Amino acid sequence: MSAVEAPAVPAVAVEEPKVAAKSGVKSFLSGGFGGMCLVAAGHPLDLLKVRMQTSTEYKSTLDCFRKTLAESGVRGMYRGMAAPLVGATPVFAICFWGYDMGQKIMRQVYNLSPSDKLSTNQILFAGGFSAVPTTAVMAPMERIKCTLQVASAGGSGVVYKGPADAAMGIIRAGGITSLFKGTCATLLRDVPGSVAYFGAYEIIKQSLTNQSAGQGSISPLAIVTAGGLAGMANWAVAIPPDVLKSRLQTAPDGKYSGVRQVFVEMMRTEGAGALFRGMGPALLRAFPANAACFLGVELSLQFMNKLW
């Protein structure tokens, strides 16, 4: 009996430091790597989403795809990818760091150890908290990305050489503060979206593996499934404020005073259905992109845990 129990003691001793070690640097690095995986997997469908949200010339996702492909070729499907790819590391690094900090706050408030599982409400709080520090970095990146994605759509005639050129064009037109246009809309999108995102991921993953984040061996299939469904849950909640954000960020300077005016004008001219424009490509992109993101996060965490 004692021979059976003896190995169990070191097993527990090894797991607890791994959970604690996930905080800080590891969360930051793994989140950045996961963000790069997400961008690489999901950018073409993100481009279609933004074009459908900012124009009424497309009848469907397939129609948008065909016209974009005919207009710009395969390379056109990756237009504007440099900005989110370069920005993915800090944005997702901060996002997952923020999620980790949100969990730490909950553990301190409720006096929980690193090995204790958080309740659903505590996970949801941590998810929502992650959006707050992320928005400061994400808002200007989203502004540049959306501007690049719609630059050649609809015959606007505006062409940018890349993210830096687009950023300079935005600054020349409206000043440095113009880069942060849509910050409130980004926050309005990302707080509830992140609640759904991390909440769905942890709940689904636990139901598939009976493991909390960072603990024990996790099946890649469980990660991919939970990550993909979490991404879809995120966009199911976030698509209406994302439509408002895209309209605000791609509009000429001075056209809208803020998110409220975008909403009022959209309801008056296009109706409530316009708030869900781009839902198709957003959900199509969400599963593979976020499956890749969480797989990158979890595998990089496992790799780092083996190194230190």
Q: What's the pLDDT at 153?
A: 58
pTM attached to this predicted model: 0.74
pLDDT at 257 (0 to 100) = 84
Residues 139, 180: Cα–Cα separation, whole Å: 6
pLDDT band, residue 217 (cuts 50/70/90): low
More confident residue, 107 or 53: 107
Flag whether pLDDT at 7 surpasses 50: no
How far apart are alpha carbons 174 and 192 in whole angstroms? 30
Write down the residue that tokens 């499934």 correspond to. 225
pLDDT in tens, 170-213: 898 888 888 888 888 889 999 999 999 999 999 999 888 765 44
Separation between Cα atoms, residue 263 and residue 266, nearest integer Å = 5
Q: Compute the average pLDDT of residues 82-105.
A: 88
The owner of tokens 């001793």 is: 13
C-alpha pair distances (Å), 82 with each of 162, 183, 303: 8, 21, 27
pLDDT over 80 (residue 159): no
The pLDDT, as a whole number, for residue 68 is 87
DSSP H helical ranges for 162-278: 163-174, 183-209, 220-250, 259-269
Please give the Cα distance from 99 to 68 (Å, whole number): 36
Model pLDDT, residue 133 = 93
Q: DSSP 3-state assignment of 104? A: helix
